[in-house]
Amino acid sequence: MPVSLNDMRFLIHDVLRYEQHYRSLGLQDPPNRELIDAIIDEAARFTETELAPLNESGDAQGCRVVDGQVITPDGFKQAYETYIKGGWAGMSGDPAYGGQGLPDSVSIILEELMCSANMAWTMYPGLSRGVINALESHGSDEQKQIFLTKLLTGEWTGTMCLTEAQAGSDVGLAKTKAVPVADGSYAVSGTKIFISAGDHDMAENILHLVLARLPDAPSGTRGISMFVVPKINLDGSRNSVSCGGIEKKMGIHGNATCVLNFDAAKGYLIGEPNEGMRYMFTMMNGARIVVGLQGVCLAEAAYLMAADYAADREQMRSLSGPKAPDRPADPILVHPDVRRMLLVQKAIVEGGRALVYYTAQLADKVVACRGEEQARAEELLDFLTPIVKGVLTELGFESVNHAMQIFGGHGFIRETGVEQYVRDARITMIYEGTTQIQALDLLGRKVLLTQGKGLMAFIGEINDLAEAIKEPLPDISVKLQEAAREWAGLTLPLGNKAKENLDELGAAAVDYLFYSGYVTLAYCWARIAQTAAAGPEGDQYLAGKLATARFYFARILPRTKSHKAALEAGADVLMSISDEALTSP
């Protein structure tokens, strides 16, 4: 199993106390521990038997186009049928349209187990979640009745069609047009690229959420509207949407990343005209949390393989004397730097999972709470989202590369499966907004534009935690407080420099993102350590948590120092060199 169920349960029940969290939300029928454990067990069984066996074969076979129809790898369609029969598609959907109404933090458990087993397959149903969120928030009652009822059973899937060849993350440059038709629909024409799960044979219909311009729309992002364009029209006829080809790409070969051509395709306006950008972020913010989780999932799958390999692989003797004298050589697990790489992976995986689950709890509060509590949760969630997406994907990629290094030459060849995790993980730093876009979003929008409201709210959480663990964990408490104090202290000068020259914001943003990520993960590890320290003495599992927490604070948190030095170096070292000197050989 490419995920530790023990670690999931420890985090859910002991650290984040899901059952207590649900009761605090005032839900009519809050999920209890028995239900949560049943979901974990059943989801683990489904992913282990149905999805994990298809991961390597799906990567090797990939997708293909036959007579204009995308065909997924062998077994993918059958696994999706099992997924539908299991009722997994509508876990967190509105019960009024066939969903089960469970909180987002429950559905994230399923998402983790599926992605750890088979990321490429998971993206097919995973893309539907963004479409469901957009329709629930902005669709008309009629659209919800028609479309949500099919999405929440899994009979139909969805995609997000944002990117065009000339308009990547800058969707304001999009040229796709939508012309009103007499029957109230719209004729949508244009080409979208890089569309994950854009076409496939797994579901009977696919709903494309398309960003397009109305004829009288203003230029730029102010003139973007959102449309739902089905692959199959509501009367059963084929809509004029076609797959122009499957992208040849580095990884996630089992997922069909398509060029989609819309040729006066029938579509339906969602919400109000020219509000597409605002609606897009309803989809995008949830998707960014999931992509951060993907970084954690691939890191864990590779870490567990590397840990097993390190315990078995024999090479050289320990520098301090033989540790396995009955074997021809010691296992590489005893060598300090192999242990370092494994501990980095373990710290990224377990701390990263805690961060994703914590943000999922905030999402629960945004939906269920009202007033000041809802506003605070929304503030924290908005602030943490670019950190989750940007930092966890970057660290996830670091982690899978450590796994390949531990395998050595056996990791570089395909038969062990490690190199697939490296290839698959690379995309997570690019789609749903690159690391650089997350960094600008964090520093520009979520910190400077809000005058640091989310930042200071989160630093307040950190300081409260540091105070609470002062007695049982004084070493961690002190380092946590120091990091929070420094984080707050370096932000204001950055803002002042950006007022004088906005290039200063761009030059500092990525280092600020990483600095923020390492402190945020320190908060997560302090929470894990707090729970572990309160457990029974002599418990080896909890001792391992405390040891990993101390490793994080000793060997990973100090990375903030180099990021602080880099972001304080300013923009001149980047901008003073001429374009010609930078681009000429």
pLDDT at 470: 96
Q: How far apart are CA 548 and CA 557, in angstroms?
A: 12
Task: For residues 147 and 175, state if they share a domain.
Answer: no
Task: For residues 540 and 446, state if they share a domain.
Answer: yes
pLDDT class of 315 with cuts at 50, 70, 90? confident
pLDDT at 329: 87
Last residue of a domain, one of 131, 151, 171: 151
Task: For residues 92 and 9, state if they share a domain.
Answer: yes
pLDDT class of 284 with cuts at 50, 70, 90? confident
pLDDT at 456: 96
Let me know: does 482 contact 553? Beta carbons within 8 Å. no
pLDDT at 171: 73
Structure-token pair, residue 485: 């104090």
Radius of gyration of the chain (CA): 24
Within a domain: 346: no
Q: How many CB atoms lie within 10 A of CB 414?
A: 12
Own/partner pairs for 329-334, CB < 8 Å, 24+ apart?
332/406, 333/307
Backbone angles phi, psi at 185, to 5 degrees: -90, -175
- Reported pTM: 0.96
Does residue 473 come out as left (phi exceeding 0), alpha (psi in the -120 to 50 range) or beta? beta
H or E element in which residue 230 lies: strand 225-230
**CATH code at position 184:** 2.40.110.20
Let me know: does 200 contact 63? Beta carbons within 8 Å. yes
Task: For residues 94 and 185, state if they share a domain.
Answer: no
Task: For residues 134 and 200, state if they share a domain.
Answer: no
Task: For residues 50 and 163, state if they share a domain.
Answer: no
Task: For residues 119 and 176, state if they share a domain.
Answer: no
Within a domain: 356: no
Task: For residues 186 and 267, state if they share a domain.
Answer: yes
pLDDT class of 324 with cuts at 50, 70, 90? confident
19 part of the active site: no
Angstrom CA distances, 420 to 154, 314, 403, 539, stand at: 28, 24, 11, 36
What's the rounded mean pLDDT across residues 506-511? 97
Q: Which of 164, 432, 461, 580 does the annotation list as catalytic? A: 432
Within a domain: 328: no
pLDDT class of 159 with cuts at 50, 70, 90? very high
Structure-token pair, residue 289: 């949390």
Task: For residues 23 and 146, state if they share a domain.
Answer: yes
pLDDT tops 90 at residue 168:
no
Within a domain: 478: yes
Task: For residues 109 and 227, state if they share a domain.
Answer: no
**How many structural domains is the chain composed of?**
3
Last residue of a domain, one of 254, 274, 294: 274
Q: How far apart are CA 188 and CA 242, in angstroms?
A: 13
Within a domain: 191: yes
Within a domain: 325: no
pLDDT at 378: 95
pLDDT per residue over 442-451, tens digit each?
999 999 999 9
pLDDT class of 1 with cuts at 50, 70, 90? low
Residues of the domain holding 265: 158-274
- Reference 124, options 77, 86, 168; nearest CA is 77
What's the rounded mean pLDDT across residues 293-311? 97
Within a domain: 125: yes
**CATH code at position 56:** 1.10.540.10
Within a domain: 270: yes
For residue 527, what are the contacts with CB-CB under 8 A and spacing of at least 6?
15, 16, 354, 465
pLDDT per residue over 58-86, tens digit each?
999 999 999 889 999 999 999 999 999 99
What's the rounded mean pLDDT across residues 136-147? 95
Last residue of a domain, one of 274, 300, 326: 274
pLDDT per residue over 177-228, tens digit each?
999 999 999 999 999 999 999 999 999 999 999 999 999 999 888 999 999 9
Task: For residues 108 and 163, state if they share a domain.
Answer: no
pLDDT at 32: 96
pLDDT tops 80 at residue 2:
no
Q: Is the dihedral of CA 34, 36, 42, 48 positive or negative?
A: negative
Task: For residues 242 and 116, state if they share a domain.
Answer: no
Q: How far apart are CA 341 and CA 347, in angstroms?
A: 10
